[in-house]
Structure 1
């Protein structure tokens, strides 16, 4: 007995239905891989730091060490270089962090172009170490200094090798749509979600939903004010108010899931 041939109109639909069913089954049987944990960068501030234990952790870690502090006065820039020893395993990627602090009465907004270029020269000189992969500027610019800060970063970017990344730390309040940061010629903005004062819960709640532009990608947390890593973070900077130890490092990376 011959079975009736399927209708030429029904057969393609049946095949499409089978393919759709197979696609659903395959998607269900193939779990989505979990997101990669963020890269870790340890801030090493002005104190003796022995990070040679990082060689035994089996995890790639970069170190952003305080290279110098520049005190901006009304008439000059005073440089205070790092004076404390820093020990890292051979081959550790290093980023130089330069802290800039404006003394009372001084403002970057009142620096004429020639002084901004001289300051950019000073910063570029501090980045001239063969093992450095990035230069990071740590400066809490006031609203009146935004334009001057952008001008400084533009001058600095021109003086750095193209292969060297330029990073800046930032306040959470800078990370809003239309922020002045959109004009900054930097490769990375690291909003610091610690030491934020009474508005900390508000900003942390916003960042818990994801990193807002223009601060996507990186974030800074403190070991003594720990919180969940915001979603979408690819690079996590960690500040420790005390010298780093293997135990402190283990605690910092225990729950690195964006």
Structure 2
């Protein structure tokens, strides 16, 4: 059973600063600012609603482990300009090795997990949903099963909302990655590369892009890092090490938008 502490639910309701607005889908948005688990005041984006700039905020973190499924809603305030509808991001975490040696999730367990991922769609107006899951190689089959279950549930609910996933950049260095349309928009992340950093950078220098063609529509970057030339013209998701400011937004806007 999903366990959500009552005080967290209350705090989330008190802290969320976005207003009730029409469920407008920002299909032309080319630059998304990731707003993670901290207080974010993005009202300096006044006037950007309905343009090529949007906000993708961490709505909840879903953890699957030996104790079952746990959901922690966003705890920090998110302040947006009037009229801007954000995109919800759900972070999924699993302990390393959790899936090894155990049976696949039962139908009821998968249904519960899918429900936890899709829950933000019914909580507030939104411009879409993004699943942030750093799937390890050993979790690839589980990731595909989950995405297909999410895709099926969206169709069953007749929900036509933009859906996508983040992806480790190293996984996009293979042609096979992203071949399943159930993944929706794929956002390869070009930061926090860890031990894959050298191989990813050398590969991009050699090929000029990701070999997996479905990884070529969007890109995740860190403010202040070098931005590859191929970022222009793609949908870009930008992460900031600290709270967003007008200055950091302007930096990433100049580096990514035409």
Question: For this structure pair, what is the TM-score category when the shorter chain's length is used for normalisation?
Answer: 0.7 to 0.9
Q: Distance in 1 between matches of 2:92 and 2:64?
A: 7
Match of 2:39 in 1: 48
- What TM-score results when the alignment is normalised by the length of structure 1? 0.77
Q: Structure 2 matches for 1:1-258, cutoff 5 A?
A: 39-56=30-47, 60-107=52-99, 110-114=103-107, 115-160=109-154, 161-183=158-180, 185-207=182-204, 209-212=208-211, 213-231=213-231, 233-256=233-256
- 8 Å contact from structure 2 (residues 33, 237) kept in 1: yes
Listed one character per residue, the Cα deviations across residues 117-153 of structure 1 (whole Å, up to 9, x for unaligned) are 2201211222224421211111111222211211111
Q: Distance in 1 between matches of 2:152 and 2:195?
A: 38
Gaps of 5+ in 1: 1-37
**Residues 57, 68 of structure 1: alpha-carbon distance in 2 compared, 3 angstrom cutoff:** closer
Greater mean deviation of Cα atoms: 86-95 or 40-49: 86-95
Q: Distance in 1 between matches of 2:241 and 2:232?
A: 26
Q: Distance in 1 between matches of 2:60 and 2:112?
A: 16
Q: Distance in 1 between matches of 2:231 and 2:33?
A: 19
- 8 Å contact from structure 2 (residues 62, 70) kept in 1: yes
The structural deviation recorded for 1:207 is 3.5
- 8 Å contact from structure 2 (residues 173, 200) kept in 1: no
The structural deviation recorded for 1:93 is 3.6
SS at match of 2:117: helix
**Residues 206, 92 of structure 1: alpha-carbon distance in 2 compared, 3 angstrom cutoff:** farther
- 8 Å contact from structure 1 (residues 65, 96) kept in 2: yes
- 8 Å contact from structure 1 (residues 189, 218) kept in 2: yes
Q: Distance in 1 between matches of 2:39 and 2:232?
A: 33
The structural deviation recorded for 1:104 is 4.5
Listed one character per residue, the Cα deviations across residues 1-41 of structure 1 (whole Å, up to 9, x for unaligned) are xxxxxxxxxxxxxxxxxxxxxxxxxxxxxxxxxxxxx8100
Runs of 4+ in 1 over 4 A off after TM superposition: 56-59
- 8 Å contact from structure 1 (residues 48, 85) kept in 2: yes
SS at match of 2:81: coil
Match of 2:15 in 1: none
SS at match of 1:141: coil
Gaps of 5+ in 2: 1-28
SS at match of 1:119: helix
